[in-house]
Amino acid sequence: MFNFKSILDVTKEEWLNGLCISEKEIPDIVIQEGSWWREERQKLRLMHLESVRELGFPDIYWGKWKDKKIVFCMTYGAPRALEISHIFSKIGCKLVVQIGTCGGLQPYLSPGDIILPDHISCEDGVARHFLKSNFVNASPKWIKLAEGLLKKQNRNIYIGKHVTFSSLFAETKKMYEKWNKDGFLSVEMETATTVAAAIQNNVDAISMVVVWDELTAGRRFMDPMTKEALKELEISNETIFKVALSLSEKL
């Protein structure tokens, strides 16, 4: 007789023990970021926090921002995004925020523009396991709050449909053409799963992603950018993290 146990059956108490945190240290907000540049991005983000420590599992960091408890983790790709969003929504965090960069699917989008996905197509191969449809919606309340904070920073903001796909290296021109025609603003690899995992545990989640690739113009992240475009990209990358922190004050 077998006695299988799914990772989904792990209890809150077991996760707290594994993370080496107490009930009082459960984060108010979890911020996840997808990027190849893990070490660089992680260093920049943790500089904003105080009393930083790595938790019981690797590359997951707990810290304080003002009077709020923050967890930050680099989560490249849907599988890693799922792990962090699930664990912390399971133990009772109040909000999960995905940040990172994306490819712009519409010709009016430029590097540094910020996308707030509202209706997300789950083409990543992971999010669908937690949903009855192929779409998931981010929290309208938190999208509105994030939009307001981003406007104060004079950023270009777009709210709309977004695609989460499994891998940059599996995307094709035909996919871009279809997504463009269907009105999707952008594509990346984490948002759908981050949101779906949080919702499964009755926790709100949103995403803020910065346009890097101009897909309708055939410009990828390895192609040259003007100094002006690069500056806008850097400003927005910094802004979305600061806004994510500021959202914790709205809890």
What residues make up the domain containing 76? 25-250
Parallel/antiparallel/unpaired status of strands 114-123 and 95-104: unpaired
Residue 8 lies in a domain: no
Domain containing residue 115: CATH number: 3.40.50.1580
How confident is the model over 200-251, as pLDDT tens digits? 999 999 999 999 999 999 999 999 999 999 999 999 999 999 999 999 999 9
CB-based contacts of 84, cutoff 8 Å, min separation 6: 30, 32, 60, 71, 73, 75, 194
3 within some domain: no
Domain count, the chain: 1
Asked if the structure places residue 18 within a domain, the reply is no
**What pLDDT sits at residue 132?**
85
Burial class (CB in 10 A: 0-12, 13-18, 19+), 1: exposed
Q: Quick check: is 7 in a domain?
A: no
Beta strands in the chain (DSSP E): 29-34, 50-54, 60-65, 68-74, 95-104, 114-123, 135-137, 157-165, 186-188, 204-214
On whether residue 6 sits in a domain, the answer given is no
**Alpha carbon distances (Å) from 147 to 130, 140, 152, 208:** 27, 10, 9, 10
Asked if residue 42 belongs to a domain, the reply is yes
**Low-confidence residues of the chain: pLDDT under 70:** none
CA-to-CA distance for 59 and 80, rounded, in angstroms? 11
| pLDDT attached to residue 1 | 84
- pLDDT score for 39: 95
Contacts of 220 (CB under 8 A, 6+ apart): 213
Tell whether 13 is covered by a domain.
no
Name the token pair of 82. Answer: 């799922």
In a domain, 163, yes or no: yes
> Can you give the C-alpha Rg of the chain in angstroms?
18
DSSP 3-state helix, strand, coil percentages of the chain (rounded to 5)?
Answer: 40, 30, 30
102-121 pLDDT per residue, tens: 999 999 999 999 999 999 99
